[in-house]
Amino acid sequence: MDTEARWVKKGGKSVFGYKQHTVVDDDGLVMAVETTAANRHDSQPMLALLDKAGIEPGCRFHADKAYGSQKHCEALKARGIKNGIQDKAVRNKPLTV
């Protein structure tokens, strides 16, 4: 039995294994990959991926709303990387167009 894999419930189904997180460039070329246990939150490896990918200051980093947090916004700003993370609505404050 794999001692590092973990269980996670996704869509009502229990799944045992890992997640793969990938950074690609504009052409779809893989720049960095990080593998985590399935129960680890999707946003956790973002900073490690940024370091592995060697993203230059001035570039824009796009990611889905799971990566949206104050910590990540500050980390991007400190590295001089433009924030392209999707916004997410908060309770009682829907997103506006």
Where along the chain do its domains lie? 16-85
Query: Which residues are within 8 A (CB) of 31 and not within 5 positions of it... i.e. 6 or more apart?
Result: 23, 24, 25, 52, 53, 54, 55
pLDDT tens column, 5-28: 999 998 899 999 999 999 999 899
- Supply 58's token pair: 């001035």
Residue with tokens 């269980």: 7
Strand extents, DSSP E, 4-89: 6-10, 13-24, 30-37, 60-63, 82-85
Threshold 0.85, pTM exceeds: no
pLDDT tens column, 43-90: 889 999 999 999 999 999 999 888 989 999 999 999 999 999 998 887
